[in-house]
Amino acid sequence: MPATVSFEVTSPHGPQNVTLSYARVGSGEPLLLLHGIGHHRQAWDPVVDILATEREVIAVDLPGFGASPALPDGLAHDLPTMNAALGALCEALRLDRPHVAGNSLGGLLALELGREKLVRSVTALSPAGFWTEAERRYAFGVLLGMRRIAERLPLPMVERLSRSAAGRVALTSTIYARPARRSPEAVVAETLALAHAEGFFETLRAGRAVQFTDTVPGVPVTVAWGNRDRLLLPRQGIRAKRTIPHARLVRLPGCGHVPMNDDPALVARVILDGSRPRASESGRAPLGAAVLQGGNA
């Protein structure tokens, strides 16, 4: 069942109260799930039940997305603030260095948590921050276009489009390689989530200066990229591997930018393998995936 938690985060104006919405299910070592910009925690629904067989899964609506309100005045939607907020969230929920998996923006945040040694392992699915400037401008332009369309589409039209495979393709093919698989209800909900995300523009503005250039020492890292990602191009995964040499780089065949819906079993396997100690030691790919060790950026 969804719940909310409130905690304090320090700002230049003093402590500020932050409230986040989350859902918690399963048992085992904790696993924190972080979604991408404009999305919500339900992006993880296709894999949650699989993950919950081995992990206590905590799927979070990031500040200003889904059911979580935007950060209060005085707190920026930038990486230092998000690190502080997610660290405080873990303290509030009594999560002792959870595993973390993130997609897109969530993948970047997961890597930042790993760099700060706040988590046990990191699995980043098409993480932001490994782009060239031209690739960043392209991705941000696509995201802005998606937001404008979501804002302008009347709800009855969204509902009508979502009822057909062709309509789901029209609404979501930018982020899914297999958009017809998404349920009509999920397409309507995520279109509304994008249209009403309070933190969208502040987060996008903060992302203009983002470039992940650090290693993540002492933490097992898996970076996975769909080979049909149309938003953050797969060659960015090679840059991620060069930036984080000890990371396991995994290709996700037939998957787009948000791969959880395109191949739930494969994505869940990648995440679970990434959170097991032997995965970082053996470098073996999960069934159906391929580990990449090099290539051209």
The string of pLDDT tens digits covering residues 67-103 is 999 999 888 899 999 999 999 999 999 999 999 999 9
Q: What is the three-class DSSP state of 170?
A: helix
261 touches 182 (CB < 8 A): yes
Tracing tokens 């070592």 back to the chain, one arrives at 29
CA distances from 237 to 126, 165, 227, 248, 256 (A): 7, 30, 10, 10, 13
Indicate whether 216 pLDDT > 50. Answer: yes
Q: Are 31 and 58 in contact (CB under 8 A)?
A: yes
Domains of the chain: 2-131+210-292 (3.40.50.1820), 135-203 (no CATH)
Cα gap 137→194, rounded to integer Å: 19
Q: What is the rounded distance in angstroms from the CA atom of residue 51 to the CA atom of residue 26?
A: 8
Query: How sure is the predictor about 281, in pLDDT bands with cuts at 50, 70 and 90?
Result: very low
Q: How far is CA 45 from CA 149, 166, 168, 245, in A?
A: 24, 22, 17, 31
Q: Per residue in 229-258, pLDDT tens?
A: 999 999 999 999 999 999 999 999 999 999
Residue 277: its pLDDT value, please?
75
